Structure 1
Amino acid sequence: MGENNDLGSFTAARQFTTLSIYFSHLSQLNFDKARELVEKERDAEKIGSYRQLLILLPNLIVTERSYIELAFVSVKNKIFLRKDNSLRSMYESLRSEINKIEFAETDNLLLDVVTYLGEHIAARIQLIDLYEKMYALGSSNKPMKCNELITQISGVGQFSVTNDITATIRSSFSLECEILRNLLEALVELQNWQFLSCLTHLHIAHTHLTSWEKSLQSREYWKLGFLKGSQLPALYLWLVKLKSSIVGKFSLYFHHILVQQTTPHDMRVLCSKHNIDHMHRLHSLQRKYDAKSIMLIFSVSGGDDLMTTVGPGYQHPERAIEPLDEYTIMLGYPMKLADKLPTVGKAITDRRTELTTSDRVICCYSPKEQYTYFMSNIDPRITLVVVFDSKKDDRETSICNHISELAAQFRSNRVFANLKLNKKSMIFSNIVMEESPNYNYFAP
């Protein structure tokens, strides 16, 4: 009896060690090492639920490898096409097979592992749904409302199993969710012109991105020479691009407060380091067409709620909140035309539906003032207004096209649209799937 107990303890310890190392490799994207480990262990295991699990674990490697390289989206005519061998169907098939083990298993250690895997796969499918929704928003050039995305990400990754075996993969999964959630929170706060809360979420996302990058530094190099380049996965690089996009907009929306913390020259140097220098583009438009001013106008209405606090910088909680005007000039170059704000505000109010439901540039001429206003909504509450002190109309196609392009650059849509499957990822995904020894298992 004692020998049986010792053998059982030894077997459990070996399983614990093997699975812990497997999940550690998986979290660091060391996919080949993870495959070698489980295949060697599977050859030594002849029967039982543990062997059934070892047979399925290489398939998890295939799905995770495709997922991290954004190979779960195929795009044609700006819609998602789900093929029979889509990553979603692969995850669902894998979860079905794992559930069969879970129902038959009585060993607590393996039961915890298969329970976690079922929850992990379900969470992955939820994230695929979220990224698809983000891409759909990005495919349109209309101003985006991201509150629903935050609600969707907040419910992902709540695992009931929290043992040491799965600690590394859970940590990696949590980092992805926290990065994405904080970036979306930062984007919403930016759209609401909330300085401190936006900055806080950006800092948290940056900290998590740094932690995730450090955990990936020991990952294996791709063996396919023509795929060499950045060794960081496509999903990580896309999240970095999203953060950079938000930081660029942050420097634009809060330019007047940030420039007070440094010299104008240093501010220009800092802005020039962004992927898109929004202030430079704005200046170029103003100079090219000799506009009287280019302004960003913030509205307390137009979002999902009615704003009660707004504005740059930090406000002490005990300081009385001054009543907000319906419209505020966030930024004006080369000057803020405060005397034109009533006219601009009325034009935005009268054309709000048209502004917020399309990406058109709307032209309004005031005969009394003899001023022309070109307007385009860039965020639900923020409107780009280009002011001319002469009569112009919407037949000025060059002006309209330039304003439309500038507004599109100010929005975050293009970063969301970059989630689509690029040619390199498609080649990579197909090779990975074809090389999998259990690839046919994923067929519906």
Structure 2
Amino acid sequence: MSQPSTPKSPSTPKPLSTPKTPPMSPIGAKEESQLQTYFELLSQFAFDKAKDMMDKEKEIHKASFGSSWALMVHSLIQFSVAEKIYMSLGFLEQKWFGRKDTLRNSYFLLLGELRRIEDSVRQQEHIVLGLPGPMVEFELLLSHLCGQLCEYIRARQKTMDFYEQISTMGTNKNMNYQDLVDVIAEIIHVHSKNFHHPILAGLKSSFTYECDVINHLLQSQILMSQAEFLQTLLQLHQSHSKLTSWGSASQAKETTKKGMFGHSSKTVSTWPALYQWLLRYKSLLVAKFSLYFYDVLSKQTTPVEMKALSAKNLEDYFTKVVAFQKKTDALNVSLVLDAQDIEQVYKGPGYHHPDKQFDRPTGLDSYPAIFSYPGDHPGNHWPNVVMMISDRVIETDKVTCIYDKGVQSTYFIINADPKIYIVVIYDSKKSEKDSYVNNFLIDLSSMLRCAKHFATLKPGSRVGSRK
């Protein structure tokens, strides 16, 4: 009997080749990337691009309206519109009778929407925690971002109040820059740490640049009014560096368009109005610095080069003074510092070693001329000048005129800064109602205080392109 044949073991079939498919992205990874891009666009002043991106996302998620992400997208569309209005200084527009402040109202509504998203995730935490891991993380991320965006909006509301305060000060004759410094310092201290998520890094950076720049500019204005050469220079340098860094991260630019037949050209800027206002403020302070410390700076170069550099400033104050002196045949035009009550002991013009000790000046020396044209201030007139400044209340919007029969000279004085006075001396009798002299001093005083620039924040003023 034949042996049964042993069955052959079946051969292992070769696996079928299957096409490779890309791994699925984790839930929320795409949306998280969009959030990153969105806030980067806002920090680059690309508000319309950010809004367009979220508008497209809204169309995609129409069917899931009511979900945390769909609600977030709707809020971010409104947020980009609000930020554009803020940076355009639209919130300072005149409010007609019965008209609401649209930006404040928009931020108020946004606060409510963001809080609802944040609260809905918290209230449904037991449901959220039952979702797949990536979904849990994404929902919690949205809740976390909403909370920090609420803090950002509160900071925005404070800076809106701040700029309204500046615009009001531009119309006041007494401007207290220290009050403004205290306000912006408080905003930085209270709010700068409240929106720190990495996704909001661009937004936080933009907010920090804005607050730091205005703080440095205001500080430089205070220091300049005390004739602090080095400290003023450092504050101006800081403001310039931060404005440059802020601007370089953006997508805005300046272009020059030629007119018909190439005869004229116009500079068109895509910088937001607020950035342009800060840039102009810095340029005005640089021009003021060039006048207050003209003698110090002129020693570092030739007279011709100094005149050329001064002419490049946004305002050429030196040339204005020279033209005024020649036209009215003034004996002297000076900027006089009342060094008696300034915080730091006045050390004289220019840089001084920080460890060198100085005594507080007394007598006539406590009223030095930090700028004088033509030549040095006239010493024989200085006792009169000092007496007039110390014995009278010299205003910022009104010229004080005094004729001294004894020396047959006329003195015109106006307050330009808290401790700095513009003094014009004529060695003849001059009418106190001389409109050219009075208008020149009132205008120069206002420009040196940057009052006109502060007032450009008011409705109806054009910001940025004028010279």
TM-score with structure 1 length normalisation? 0.85
Provide structure 2 residue ranges, at least 5 long, that are not aligned to the other structure: 1-22, 123-138, 256-266
Provide structure 1 residue ranges, at least 5 long, that are not aligned to the other structure: 1-5, 222-227, 426-444
Larger radius of gyration between Structure 1 and Structure 2: 2
Matches within 5 A, 1:34-433: 34-45=50-61, 46=64, 47-75=66-94, 83-106=99-122, 107-140=139-172, 142-156=173-187, 157-217=191-251, 229-301=268-340, 306-325=343-362, 326-335=366-375, 336-352=377-393, 355-356=394-395, 358-422=396-460
8 Å contact from structure 2 (residues 46, 251) kept in 1: no
TM-score with structure 2 length normalisation? 0.81
Higher helix residue share:
1
CA offsets, 1:35-62, max 9 Å, x none?
2322333344413222222111111111
8 Å contact from structure 1 (residues 186, 201) kept in 2: yes
What amino acid does structure 2 have at the position aligned with 1:203? Answer: H
8 Å contact from structure 1 (residues 378, 411) kept in 2: yes
Count of matched residue pairs: 405
Matches within 5 A, 1:14-33: 14-33=30-49
Cα RMSD for the two superposed structures: 2.6
Bigger mean CA deviation after superposition, 270-279 or 37-46: 37-46
Q: Secondary structure at the match of 2:413?
A: strand
Question: How far did residue 269 of structure 1 move?
Answer: 0.3
Query: Counterpart of 2:7?
Result: none
Distance change >3 Å, CA 82–CA 198, structure 1 → 2 = farther
Structure 1 runs, 4 residues or longer, greater than 3 Å off: 42-45, 80-83, 218-221, 421-425
Distance change >3 Å, CA 419–CA 82, structure 1 → 2 = farther
Q: Secondary structure at the match of 2:143?
A: helix
What amino acid does structure 1 have at the position aligned with 2:160? Answer: I
What amino acid does structure 2 have at the position aligned with 1:128? Answer: M
Q: Secondary structure at the match of 1:139?
A: coil
CA distance in 2, matches of 1:75, 1:259: 45
CA distance in 1, matches of 2:252, 2:388: 57
Question: How far did residue 82 of structure 1 move?
Answer: 8.8
CA offsets, 1:312-355, max 9 Å, x none?
22211221213223311111111311332221111112222xx2
Question: How far did residue 149 of structure 1 move?
Answer: 0.7
CA distance in 2, matches of 1:424, 1:306: 36
Distance change >3 Å, CA 30–CA 374, structure 1 → 2 = same
CA offsets, 1:224-255, max 9 Å, x none?
xxxx9312211111111100100000000000
Bigger mean CA deviation after superposition, 332-341 or 65-74: 332-341
Question: How far did residue 219 of structure 1 move?
Answer: 8.3
Question: How far did residue 306 of structure 1 move?
Answer: 3.9
Q: Secondary structure at the match of 2:402?
A: strand
CA distance in 2, matches of 1:360, 1:195: 28
